[in-house]
């Protein structure tokens, strides 16, 4: 069966094996083997060669330039990264929805107000975390009740803030920073449940063996259990609510017979919390200040 122009050799009327370059009137002289078709210029999904052949893009490139594996755009499910197509962006890079490519994870991570607020809160908690609320004789220290209440509430709210940021960062495809905050959340759970609960509930058994706290627990079981559950899940600092004297309510006037041991436990965990949670959190947020543009 004779071939039709622009085919020089063919397998069928529509399937070329080579292009006719003997006829000057034929402009379709570039053969694209993948489609068995002749083109005037090679399509973007291929690169031309001196022998008038179009070589198809490789390595999941949708379009390429110069060589077959130098990608310009990628097939579905792949992202452009330094002229290559990858299924997952490398560490430190995130998927850009508009360009379908991997961009720097630091270009837009957290809005400036969230960054500054998180730094201020973290520093404030670190400074006030050693407030005890009473002296060695058990007398209430004037002026500390308010700070103890604020400390406990802010520490719990900060965990919620991290959760909101993780969701925001994940939806915005800033996976590196979201992952770092997720690590902080897991570290917080380990401190609260594995260290704090183990010491307060399992080892020292304050609910049973501490005479004054045991009486408080029996008199106000609902309040005591609620505060303890919050401290086990969100932040051990929430235990401060039990002796914060909120609005002068007796439900928040817990006392401890072994005060020094209790405050020593809180103090040691506070140091761990600062080192493991707040300093890394501050570092993450400060790093964002170098990448986030004001007004973003």
The arithmetic mean of pLDDT across residues 89-118, rounded, is: 66
Would you put residue 215 in left (φ > 0), alpha (ψ -120 to 50) or beta? alpha
State the average pLDDT for the chain: 81
The pLDDT-based confidence of 43 (bands split at 50, 70, 90) is very high
Delimiting residues of CATH 2.10.220 domain(s) in the chain: 7-104
Q: Which residues contact 205 (CB under 8 A, 6 or more apart)?
A: none
CATH of 7-104, one of 2.70.98, 3.30.70, 2.40.10, 2.10.220: 2.10.220
Nearest CA among 225, 234, 237, 235 for reference residue 201: 225
Share of the chain above pLDDT 70, in %: 81
User: Which pTM does this prediction carry?
Assistant: 0.54
Place of tokens 């004037």: 142
């Amino acid at each position: 069966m004779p071939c039709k122009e622009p085919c020089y050799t063919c397998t069928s009327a529509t399937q070329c094996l080579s292009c006719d370059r003997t006829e000057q009137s034929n402009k379709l002289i570039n053969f694209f083997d993948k489609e068995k078709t002749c083109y005037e210029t090679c399509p973007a999904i291929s690169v031309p060669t001196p022998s008038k052949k179009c070589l198809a893009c490789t390595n999941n490139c949708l379009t390429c330039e110069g060589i077959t594996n130098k990608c310009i755009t990628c097939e579905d499910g792949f992202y452009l990264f330094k002229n290559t197509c990858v299924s997952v962006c490398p560490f430190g890079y995130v998927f850009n929805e508009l360009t379908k490519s991997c961009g720097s994870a630091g270009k837009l991570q957290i809005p400036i107000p969230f960054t500054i607020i998180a730094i201020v809160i973290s520093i404030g908690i670190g400074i006030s975390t050693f407030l005890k609320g009473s002296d060695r004789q058990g007398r209430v220290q004037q002026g500390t009740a308010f700070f103890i209440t604020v400390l406990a509430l802010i520490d719990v709210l900060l965990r919620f803030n991290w959760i909101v940021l993780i969701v925001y960062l994940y939806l915005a495809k800033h996976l590196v920073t979201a992952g770092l905050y997720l690590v902080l959340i897991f570290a917080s759970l380990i401190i609260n449940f594995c260290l704090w609960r183990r010491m307060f509930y399992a080892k020292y058994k304050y609910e049973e063996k501490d005479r004054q706290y045991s009486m408080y627990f029996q008199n106000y079981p609902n309040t005591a259990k609620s505060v303890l559950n919050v401290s086990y899940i969100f932040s051990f600092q929430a235990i401060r609510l039990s002796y914060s004297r909120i609005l002068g309510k007796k439900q928040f006037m817990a006392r401890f017979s072994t005060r020094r041991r209790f405050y020593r436990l809180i103090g040691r965990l506070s140091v761990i919390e600062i080192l493991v949670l707040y300093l890394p959190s501050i570092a993450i947020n400060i790093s964002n200040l170098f990448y986030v543009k004001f007004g973003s």
